[in-house]
Homo-oligomer: A and B are copies of this chain.
Amino acid sequence: MLIVMRHGATEAEVRRVIAVIEEMGYKARPMPGAQRTAVGLVGNDGRVDASRLEGLPGVQDVIHVSKPYKQVSREWKSENTVVRLGGAVTVGGPEVVTIAGPCSVESERQIIEAARLVKEAGAVILRGGAWKPRTSPYAFQGLGRPGLKLLAKAREETGLLICTEAMDADGIGYVAEVADIIQVGARNMQNFSLLKIAGRAKKPVLLKRGMSATIEELLLSAEYLLAEGNHDVILCERGIRGFDTATRNVFDLTAIPVVHKLSHLPIIADPSHGTGLRDKVIPMARAAVAAGADGIMVEVHPDPEQALSDGAQTLYPDQFAQLMREIRVIADVIGRRVAEPAGVGA
């Protein structure tokens, strides 16, 4: 950490900065310059709270040299984390995984049919919300625990793995019993109480990027999970808030190579939420794979017009099949392959 003093800061001000650094248990290394003095803080383990220093008289700026996260960083662990799910499916290795299914679990018939359709097209993991975070209290909030049972049934019938969201402590418990991946949604990315509980669950966690989260904040939220002992973390880019109403979100695909450089954790992309528009999902799913995503998560419904939520961004089954065909070739271009469901071709 580097504390930059203002041009014209007094010697007393510099000495005070040094004293505070030493009081905090670190070493101070003053560096007088032509225009101004800077003071290096040495011994920083990425956990220093800079706010005491920022407000001291004569201080112009506090510059963070070390990253504030630790266990999630490439410097901590240089090889990729490969999250192993049931049935030989892995995330973060050479395979590109596909998570597909409806926004919400609505009925037995709907979820079983969706599972069959997405498996047939090549998905290996079924998505479907039992609890739905909805902006309005009057919108459909999901079936809750009965929805989880339907997901379990869909797994039995198809062999697909299950990924579904939990929104609170109780939900984490229920979801961990049934699902293969516990999803923490964008709105809960900085729900630190939830992160701590998810960090103690014995299941992989899919952590979605918050709508206004920097990549550093995403990695710090992942650090909460690792700090509690859960190393099976998959990140997900799902669009950030922007100023243009032409799309629901700004789908920030550059996050993929950025995360791959900073962290060993896998990152997938969700073009359904990333764009919010059905006819943008296919081109942006292709783009995600081309950018190096470790997987994609896509909303597919047997009959999108009847969907109780997110209908406008949900693919028709034949669109999803087309998408799968296209991303297989693109994965190949960059030396990867799209994971295929166990039963197919067996």
Report A's interface with B, CB cutoff 8 A. Answer: 2, 4, 6-8, 20, 29, 31, 33-36, 38, 40, 42-44, 46-47, 49-56, 61, 63, 65-66, 68-70, 75, 133-140, 167-169, 171, 187-188, 190-194, 210-212, 214-217, 220, 223-224, 227, 240-247, 250-258, 261, 274-275, 278-280, 283-284, 286-292, 304-314, 326, 329-330, 333-334
Decide if B242 touches A250 in the complex (CB within 8 Å).
Answer: yes
Contact check, B256 vs A253: say whether CB atoms are below 8 A apart: no
Known interface pairs A187-B192, A212-B241, A287-B288; 6 further A-B residue pairs with C-beta atoms within 8 A, sorted by A's residue number = A2-B65, A7-B75, A34-B42, A55-B304, A247-B258, A251-B254
Minimal beta-carbon separation of A289 from chain B (angstroms)? 7
Are B65 and A38 closer than 8 Å at their CB atoms?
yes
CA distance A284 to B305 in the complex (A): 33
Please state the number of chain copies in the assembly: 4
Q: A63-B63, A65-B4 are in contact. Are A46 and B253 (CB under 8 A)?
A: no
* Contact A137 B224, beta carbon cutoff 8 Å: yes
Within the complex, what minimum Cβ distance (angstroms) separates A311 from chain B? 4
- Given the interface contacts A47-B136, A188-B191, A212-B243, does A283 sit within 8 Å of B275 by beta carbon? no
User: A54 → chain B, closest Cβ, in Å?
Assistant: 3
Are A136 and B223 CB-contacts (below 8 A) given A211-B212, A283-B292? Answer: yes
A137 to B333, CA, bound (A): 39
Residues of B within 8 A of A193 (CB): 167-168, 171
Distance, CA A138 to CA B169, complexed state (A):
22
Residues in B neighbouring A252, C-beta threshold 8 A: 242, 244, 250-251
Distance in Å: Cβ of A207 to nearest Cβ of chain B:
13
User: From A55, which residue of chain B is reached at the shortest CB distance?
Assistant: B312
Distance to closest chain B CB from A201 (angstroms): 16
Q: How far is the CB of A171 from chain B (nearest CB, A)?
A: 8
- In the bound assembly, the distance between CA atoms of A210 and B135 in angstroms comes to 12
Given A51-B312, A220-B135, A243-B243, does the pair A305, B56 have CB atoms closer than 8 Å? yes
Given B33, B250, B254, which contacts A275 in the complex, CB threshold below 8 Å?
B254
Query: B residues within 8 A CB of A290?
Result: 283, 286-287, 289-290, 330
Asked if B245 contacts A214 (CB within 8 A), the reply is yes
- Determine whether the beta carbon of A312 is less than 8 Å from that of B192: no
Q: How far is the CA of A280 from the CA of B290 in the complex (A)?
A: 12
* Nearest Cβ on chain B to A231's Cβ, whole angstroms: 14
Taking CB atoms, residues of chain B closer than 8 Å to A279 are 257, 261
The 4 lowest CB-CB distance pairs between A and B, nearest first, are A212-B212, A54-B312, A55-B312, A290-B290
In Å, the complex CA distance between A16 and B287 comes to: 33
Cβ contact within 8 Å between A242 and B243: yes
Could you say which residues of chain B place their CB within 8 Å of the CB of A291? 283-284, 286-287
Q: Report yes or no: B246 in contact with A311, Cβ–Cβ below 8 A.
A: no
Complex Cα–Cα for A289 and B284 (A): 10
Complex contacts, A211 vs chain B, CB 8 Å: 212
How far does the alpha carbon of A194 sit from the alpha carbon of B220 in the complex, in Å? Answer: 22
A51 pairs with B307, CB closer than 8 A: yes
Q: Are B330 and A49 touching (Cβ within 8 A)? A: no
- Shortest distance between the CB of A293 and any CB in chain B (Å): 9
Q: Given A35-B66, A223-B137, is A240 in contact with B250 using a C-beta cutoff of 8 Å?
A: yes
